[in-house]
Amino acid sequence: MNYPYLAELNPMQAQAVEYTNGPLMIVAGAGTGKTKTLTYRILHLIHTGVLPEHILAVTFTNKAAHEMRERVKTLLHKYNPEHSTEKTTMPTLKTFHGQGVMLLRQFYQQANIRKEFTILDTADGMKLIKESMEELGIDTKKHEPKLLRSIISSAQNKGTKLSDFERDTHSENTGYAARVWKLYEAKKAREHALDFDDLLIKLRDLLQDNASVRNYLQNKFQYIHIDEYQDTNNVQYEIARLLTGPLHNICVVGDTDQNIYSWRGANIKNMMSFETDFPEARIILLEQNYRSTKNILTAAGAIIAENKIRIDKTLYTDNHTGEPIDLFIGMNERDEAYFVADSIKKLITSGVSPNSIAILFRTHFQSRILEEQCLQFNIPYHVLGVKFFDRKEIKDLVAYIRYALNPDSLSDLRRIINEPKRGIGQVGLVKIMSGLAETLSGSQQASFKMFQNLITDIADHSRRLIPSELVRFTIHKSGMFNAYSNGSTDEHERLETMEELVTYALAYDDREIGTGILDMLEDIALLSEQDGIKEGTESVKLMTIHASKGLEFPYVFITGLEQGLFPHAGFEDKKNAEDAEEERRLFYVAITRAMKKLYLSYAYSRTIFGKQTFNEPSIFIANIPAEIVSVVQSDFSDYQSEDKHVKTVYLDW
């Protein structure tokens, strides 16, 4: 049979699309069209008679899932129009956590949880961790809550159970973490709340322990696709294996060279051992890059060739050679930031859209001086990680709806009981949470009764109103509208922000009453950093390299290329060989975000947390062939360096 869409693929992509029966691993290098390959594979399955409801595709970010969903819709409309008219004909395209929510809501009884469970975002989870520490008498200044939360999350992602963790505590921090973990679990259970880790662990446990659910889902999802397989942790790996039925129709897509999340549990061995797990597996390499120039790929290839733990491949491109890679050597971080801002200003003046430019850095603290210089040069910019949904008024509004749907969510109660002010202070809140509301003063009891009535009212309306109407109703019913109506400009902006949530909710209005609002709350909780990018906004993007994964920009600046910063301290320690490889992979990811032009920079001197350091250039720079690098010096004519004596630092390739 003739499949016209295969003509839109290169030979290796076409092979991956046509191989539909049995296990398949697609090793897709950066910019080789993995999303295109995945979406055309789904199209091909449907085109050859597979029912869409039998297809599952799982990825890591909402942005990636949304892109995949839209591409599949477009392809179905073009090549299978009979499948594009009704929602029921769409395959299931979810993030890992989104899939967890979907299946746990469906099988909540079997999972022994409440259907309307609350999803704790990162901030909500940290609050409960801090509360747990305080109740246990653990000093939150001496013992960082984020560290204890990281220890707990790392253990969970490896599949470690609390009982086993408690028996194997080997340091002061792990001992504290075990105690906090136990109380944290009790608090979540009391509030019928799940954090991000729970969404995966509860699903894994459900699949392991309930054969009827497992068999049902294996029969339902007969063709499974896992994107970014190199980033799966042990629990995600187990979920994938448990969902895979006896036919082993599992297709995983990934790149060992882009494994950069071991710190949050990603296990590169999941990809390296795929052939061991499935001896009959087919392996297909995607090596033709469509994104970058030859010079950029040469630099990336030279870096990653130093690594040992990888599936070997060599990227190539039919694109032109491109410009040399600019390397700027600055006296200090201000000098470096000036170069970056000055270069960007020249690009914009020449007609380049700010949307086409990204500034990448290893750690968050580097952004301050870069932002400062962008302001000085009047460059529009946006820092990833500052989310609309992190705004106080939005979190308050969402908490009202969540609490109405789940009155056991004490975290939400704590947030909104006195927002806006109701005269119920901390002492009153403690009494309410302890079940002693009858001991409140007369005025406080009256306020609490009114609060209970409005929560009941919101809950009642959630069963009758579409999401946008429910959000608008909550804005007014909660008292937040009146509280911000006659205030300052800042409060007026808060009202506008809340109205924007109404707009956001419109996307869920066509779903079943009651389900739409749950879906909306789910998506809000699971938003990633990349979801903070507003399409169409004219701004330069500033972000960590980790946040940049999966994105691409014509012009990319990679800053802070100094020993001890990037790569981090301890890079050359032979005991940390795997750590060193991941750091090298991180630089590889950064380089391969660039399409047309790549800029590298480092500062001879940098002040970090009040301490001045003097730095050697990153060892990574020396790995790049000298013939494709152009060393750039800053133009000091309009810039007064803080250093009185300018010193030029030369590289010895």
> Which residues have a catalytic role annotated?
34-35, 227-228, 258, 593
Q: Across-strand partners of 327? A: 600, 631
Q: CA-to-CA distance for 104 and 140, rounded, in angstroms?
A: 34
Query: Which residues are CB-contacts of 486 (< 8 A; sequence separation ≥ 6)?
Result: none
Strand 223-226 vs strand 55-59: parallel, antiparallel, or unpaired? Answer: parallel
DSSP states of 491-547 as a string?
HHHHHHHHHHHHHHHGGGTTSPTTHHHHHHHHHHHT--GGGGPPTT---EEEEEHHH
Of 261, 266, 218, residue with least CA distance to 240: 218
Q: CA-to-CA distance for 103 and 9, rounded, in angstroms?
A: 34
Alpha helices in 294-355 (DSSP H): 294-304, 333-349
Beta sheet of 24-28, edge-to-edge order = 92-95, 55-59, 223-226, 250-254, 24-28, 282-286
Angle in degrees, CA 245, 251, 257, rounded to 5: 135
CB atoms within 10 A of CB 429: 16
Three-state secondary structure call for residue 224: strand
- Provide the phi-psi class of 563: left if phi over 0, else alpha when psi is between -120 and 50, else beta: beta
Contact criterion met (CB below 8 Å) for 239 and 203: yes
538 phi/psi in degrees, rounded to 5: -85, 95
Which own/partner pairs from 62-66 qualify as long-range (CB within 8 Å, at least 24 positions apart)?
A: 62/95, 62/98, 62/523, 62/526, 62/527, 62/528, 62/531, 63/528, 63/530, 63/531, 63/533, 63/550, 64/35, 64/95, 64/227, 64/228, 64/550, 65/93, 65/94, 65/95, 65/98
Q: Across-strand partners of 558? A: 360, 600
9 phi/psi in degrees, rounded to 5: -115, 155
Q: What is the CA radius of gyration of the chain?
A: 26
Angle in degrees, CA 369, 543, 299, rounded to 5: 100
Query: Which residues are CB-contacts of 590 (< 8 A; sequence separation ≥ 6)?
Result: 360, 545, 548, 556, 558
* Residue entry with tokens 């005991």: 575
Token pair in block for residue 224: 């499974």
Contact criterion met (CB below 8 Å) for 344 and 377: yes
